[in-house]
A and B are shown apart, each in its own frame.
Chain A
Amino acid sequence: MSDLENELRRHFGYRSFRPYQKEVVESVLAESDTIAFLPTGMGKSLCYQLPAKLMTGLTIVVSPLVSLMEDQVIQLRSKGEKNAAHLSSLLSNEERRFVLKHLNRWSLLFVSPEMLSQQWLVKKLAARKVSLFVVDEAHCISQWGHEFRTDYLRLADVRKSLGQPVCLALTATATQEVEEDIVSKMHMVRPERFRAPVNRGNIFLQVHTCENEYEKQREFVKYLQGFAQPAICYAGTRQDAEDYAHLAAKTGGLRTAYYHGGVSKEDRIMIQQQFLNDELDMICATNAFGMGIDKSDIRTIIHLYLPQSVEQYLQETGRAGRDGGQSAAKMIVAGDDVRLSLRMLQRDLPDSRIIASIFPGGLYHRPFWNETAELAGLEDIYHRMLHFYLEQAGALKEGKWDYTVQTEEIKERLLERFRRRRFEKERQYKKMQEFLNKDTCIRALIRDYFNEEPESQLSLCCNVCHPNSQVDAKMNAGSFQTDSAPVNGSGSWRNMLQTILRQSEET
């Protein structure tokens, strides 16, 4: 066993690396900038968790998914790790002060990009030796990526302020355009590149198009007969998530829960734990769910909406079958769903009407940016995005409009930028719509999109190649969950409470 494998075992208790992990870790330890494309579930986080243990300085991980960072820190802590922390909007002031006050204690620090855009924090971090700068979900840095975030554009500067530590960029899926964009935007020097194939052979891909909602529900109910569990079912709206959870419980007799942004945090944590404990057969969720879930035996992913890009589809379906067992991804969509996704996609960017209204001469324009934004009723995401661009273009200084610059010109540039970005998103969405064509192998479409080589023939490829197949519960016999033991004991509430706190009868 090599030294690295010994360290892996010592710190994490694993006997061997998963594909690409060792190469990535070695590259980082050799102080090379590294970019790695590892599909969801391939153990991305280990690629920085292990170096954080072995390098002398601090490892900073930037991720846009604040709840995912929080989940990771909680999971690490629950395994006895005491040197990991996170800084994000989810912390109270008191917690944030605590994390900052004990900065020297952490070897692994997760930070949200919004936090890193604050100069004082960067200064504080720069006072420590930073060994590794990790950009998670690195596709967010690219205009060509499917979820571009303006805050990510500042990361190259932040890295420079921290003394240009080794940079590790991680993402699940990205085209070559995006790859080049990441390398150049992060100023990476001759990076080592690792790319795992995005096609996961153990997931049977199915797409079913329906005429209308009624037919969609029928197909859903039909599919539940004998399908493999546990499952995540992604819905396009909160209401759909609730309705389909209800439908699955009623017609399939499944233990279900729904999960979306409107569910309280308390319940979201409980539902995650129920799912991990096998107390649930299916979770119906908006796409907020699943990223932080460390569950390897998810058997089925159902899509009730059309993802906005092939990347998003792969990210979500990739949550199935991480244990290597036969799994399935089933999409059931109707014509309305195609339009719904398009509408949501268009709403991601402010339209020209909004832009015109905030610039000088516009209805909502005021000398202060905050006032302008409030009057225009800008959603948080628009607010941050426009603030970033306007500041970068010099139209805003310290929260006030600067009338000495050519705002008209800046407005035109901004409109053009959003127009291009919208066009790009629509192009990505069209690629996804090709999945509905019914005559081309779905894997072939994915391979084509990512320029990958064909793999060997699969016995369960997709519903174009294998139209009459279904992955059912029996295929993974043994791992199949039978009815769980009575939870929290049984009988009266007194008995249950006794079981929970391990009290005997006579107390």
Chain B
Amino acid sequence: MKSAERLLLAAIQSAGAERSLNGVKHILKGKRSAQTIQDVRFFQCERITASLKDAPEVNIESIVSALKERGCIRSGPADTHHLTAEGVRYFQELEDDVPFPATYHGMPYEWHSAANGFWQRLRLLIQTLGNLQYDIRFFQPVSYDYTVQRDVKTVLNHSSYSKDQQSRQLYQEVESVLTRFSDQEAEIFVRRLTSAFSAGKTYTQLAAEKGKDELYIHFLHRGIIHEMIQLSAKESESFPLLKRLVPAIPNQTSVTETAAKTHEYIKAGKMLREIAATRGLKLSTIEDHVVEIALHDDAFDPADYITNEVITMAANKAADLGTSRLKTIKENLPDGITYFQIRLALAIKSGRS
């Protein structure tokens, strides 16, 4: 609960005054949309981005109303929020009580689920080597995911070292990362692992033991994972095994499958309305796709939807007003310019800067 409150206060402090609660939610959940990517850049909240994507479930609405009740935040127009003086004080208090790990970085490691992929591979590798070390050949794997199993198998088989040597190497690599953390943090990490003797403890169980909340344990754990990935990239010769557990990350510039489909129709010369009807989707959804495409694809020609003049006008207005709040921008532009056009203009400017 406290960690969720701390996270929400941080997110609202960065983006809440200009974005609706939904917009804030999308940042924390790592929604793969053009708007969210733009927001993350604009508000510079990369650290907490996507922090709730692969995390224990958090009911954001109930946390927000609890914060309101405490007088920590106040709501503004269009479901925006800002911190009160009490909110700033409480935020400080939470920073001491449930600090956010210094090594945690959401955008690079959570957005594409790299951290989760790495962790799944690491825990399966440890479980497998751990069982083999005790001559147990058949056991129930901790991950059912086929790609995880395949990748771990590849690591195990394509090595000139014996299983015993691999175990030693893995021990040394994990141990040397954990040494950089406090004993308590390292202990949480180790007790989460599945071995030949024990299934390990869940976040919930560890949280109950430590008298902390589940999300706190999760972030602490992920902070260690992020450090492992970062070290294995920076000092790759010292972490040959960990390095091989980092999952391949999809091309940063790729758009969602559904937007790509819309792009195909556009290339075939279809109007947005036609595409919406053919695909049985709302027009606004198709417009979202166009914004997404514009953000990712420099070669995309928006001429059918917006003139260069409007692009410049909208982008300049956003810069002048120091906001990316669509409603404010629209109010300060000539009539007839749609929200869709403003979003498109901002996407084009931010994608190509």
Interface positions of A (Cβ within 8 A of B): 70, 74-75, 78-80, 90-92, 94-95, 98, 249, 257-258, 262-267, 269-271, 273-274, 276-277, 279, 368-371, 399, 485, 487-488, 492-494, 496-503, 507
> Which of B16-24, B130-138, B260-268, B323-331 is the interface stretch?
B130-138
Would you list 8 pairs from A and B whose C-beta atoms are within 8 A, ordered by A residue?
Answer: A78-B141, A95-B147, A262-B57, A267-B203, A273-B194, A492-B187, A494-B175, A496-B190
Q: Is B183 within 8 A of A493, CB to CB?
A: yes
Q: Bound complex: CA of A503 vs CA of B133, how far in Å?
A: 9
Identify which of residues 49-75 in chain B touch chain A, using a CB-to-CB cut-off of 8 Å: 56-57
Q: Is B199 within 8 A of A267, CB to CB?
A: no
Q: Is B171 within 8 A of A273, CB to CB?
A: no
With a cutoff of 8 Å between Cβ atoms, the chain B residues found around residue A267 in the complex are 202-204
Q: Is B171 within 8 A of A501, CB to CB?
A: yes
With a cutoff of 8 Å between Cβ atoms, the chain A residues found around residue B146 in the complex are 91-92, 94-95, 98
Q: Is B238 an interface residue (CB 8 A)?
A: no
Which 10 A-B residue pairs are closest in the complex by CB-CB distance? Answer: A487-B198, A273-B199, A502-B133, A368-B280, A95-B146, A500-B195, A493-B187, A274-B199, A493-B190, A267-B202
Q: Bound complex: CA of A97 vs CA of B174, how far in Å?
A: 35
A158 CB to closest chain B CB (Å) equals: 25
Identify which of residues 192-213 in chain B touch chain A, using a CB-to-CB cut-off of 8 Å: 193-205, 208
Q: Is B190 within 8 A of A497, CB to CB?
A: yes
Q: Is B189 within 8 A of A493, CB to CB?
A: yes
Q: Is A488 within 8 A of B198, CB to CB?
A: yes
Q: Is B318 an interface residue (CB 8 A)?
A: no
Contact A503:B168 (CB < 8 A) given known A92-B146, A267-B202, A277-B199: yes
Mask of B227-256 contacts with A, CB within 8 angstroms, 1/0: 000000000000000000000000000000
With a cutoff of 8 Å between Cβ atoms, the chain A residues found around residue B174 in the complex are 497
With a cutoff of 8 Å between Cβ atoms, the chain B residues found around residue A262 in the complex are 57
Contact check: which of A74, A274, A368, A503 meets B171 at CB < 8 Å? Answer: A503
With contacts A98-B146, A488-B190 known, what are 7 further pairs, Cβ within 8 A?
A79-B138, A80-B137, A266-B142, A267-B202, A399-B280, A493-B189, A493-B191
Q: Is B186 an interface residue (CB 8 A)?
A: yes
Q: Is B56 within 8 A of A503, CB to CB?
A: no
With a cutoff of 8 Å between Cβ atoms, the chain B residues found around residue A501 in the complex are 126, 129-130, 133, 167-168, 170-171
Identify which of residues 289-326 in chain B touch chain A, using a CB-to-CB cut-off of 8 Å: none
Residue of B nearest to A79 (CB): B138
With a cutoff of 8 Å between Cβ atoms, the chain A residues found around residue B281 in the complex are 371
With a cutoff of 8 Å between Cβ atoms, the chain B residues found around residue A369 in the complex are 280
Q: Is A78 within 8 A of B138, CB to CB?
A: yes
Residue of B nearest to A99 (CB): B146
Q: Is B140 an interface residue (CB 8 A)?
A: yes
Q: Is A500 within 8 A of B199, CB to CB?
A: no
Q: Bound complex: CA of A266 vs CA of B199, how far in Å?
A: 11
Q: Is B199 within 8 A of A279, CB to CB?
A: yes
With a cutoff of 8 Å between Cβ atoms, the chain A residues found around residue B178 in the complex are 493, 497
Contact check: which of B133, B140, B167, B168 meets A273 at CB < 8 Å? Answer: B140
B224 CB to closest chain A CB (Å) equals: 12
